[in-house]
Amino acid sequence: MKQQIGFIGGGQMAEALIRGIIASGLYRENDILVAEPNDFRRDHLEQTYSVKTFESNVPIFDNCRIIILAVKPQTMKALLLDCRERVQSHHIMISIAAGLPISFYLETIGKNDTKMIRVMPNTPALVLEGASALSRNDNVSDEELRAAEEIFLAVGEVVILDEVHLDAVTGLSGSGPAYVFSFIEALIDAGVKSGLTRVVSEKLALQTVSGSVKLLKESGEHPAALRGKVTSPGGTAITAIHVLEKVGFHGIIMDVVEAAVIRSKELGKVE
């Protein structure tokens, strides 16, 4: 299935995928086509990655079997209405727009044989460390799903789920980087408050988070077990964790994710 691959939309997430699939050798530069109305973005993608870009969507549908819809959710309906006559049964349509259910695409395109895959990626894909969840409709074969999975494996980890779980994915990993960035920002500010320079505090905070994640992944131990190894009796870590427990840290994080899940469901209720 290694034919040409097309992107409709050439924004940051599309660029991350382009970078990943080129770096992985999954597609050659000449086999990647991008439709993007913005002149600056087209020039940037051509000069940086040597891909083919177009102002119109027509070449994408004429030349590509796999088509990645990389536009904002609020502009998706207009895009689909404009191109639905070009969508054919052999096309594998992959959307990375948050919130919009597969049923929305089928209803808007108006063709029940449309092959549709919905993906919830996240922004660390920009540095090839993303987390993506894929769901398909019944028109997509196992082989076609594997082809889509390969694309997102080029920019990080992938899970295959039933669509009913994608709102939970949105709340956890889709929006998750925002929670992590907020936590890191707070750590940095805490270091500054305690007398460190911002440069030193940032360096220590980033390495602490990065190193903790690496230790967790490589050790295979439960987070609670590793936390226990840091919290010596009567020490500084257990004293600090006591404060977290008093303010309900676990509950706050669970509430944060749940709020994002609820909002994702609301956004998915398209008119």
Domain termination residue (choose one: 140, 169, 198): 169
What's the pLDDT tens digit per position in 19-46?
A: 999 998 999 999 999 999 999 999 999 9
Domain endpoint, select from 169, 197, 231 = 169
pLDDT tens, position by position, 232-257: 999 999 999 999 999 999 999 999 99
Statement to judge: residues 229 and 163 lie in one domain: no
Residues 118 and 242 both lie in one domain? no
Domain with 34, as residue range(s), is: 5-169
Among candidate residues 152, 169, 186, the one where a domain is terminated: 169
Both 152 and 214 in one domain: the answer is: no
Q: Are residues 105 and 211 in the same domain?
A: no
Q: Are residues 151 and 198 in the same domain?
A: no
Is residue 173 within 8 A of residue 120, CB to CB? The reply is yes
CATH number at residue 18: 3.40.50.720
The angle, 0 to 180 degrees and rounded to 10, between the axes of the packed helices 12-23 and 39-49 is 10
pLDDT digits (tens, 9 = 90+) for 118-144: 999 999 998 889 999 999 999 999 999
What total of structural domains would you count in the chain?
A: 2
92 shares its domain with 21:
yes
The model's confidence at residue 226, banded by pLDDT at 50, 70 and 90, is very high
Q: How far apart, in Å, do the first and last CA atoms of the chain sit?
A: 35
Q: Find out whether 89 and 115 touch, Cβ atoms under 8 Å.
A: yes
pLDDT at position 59: 95
pLDDT at 174 over 70: yes
pLDDT higher than 90, residue 267: no
Sheet containing 92-95: give its strands across: 52-54, 32-35, 5-8, 66-69, 92-95, 115-120, 130-136, 156-160
Residue 271 confidence (pLDDT): 57
pLDDT at 270: 63
**In the structure, what pLDDT confidence band is assigned to residue 2 with cuts at 50, 70 and 90?**
low
pTM of the model: 0.89
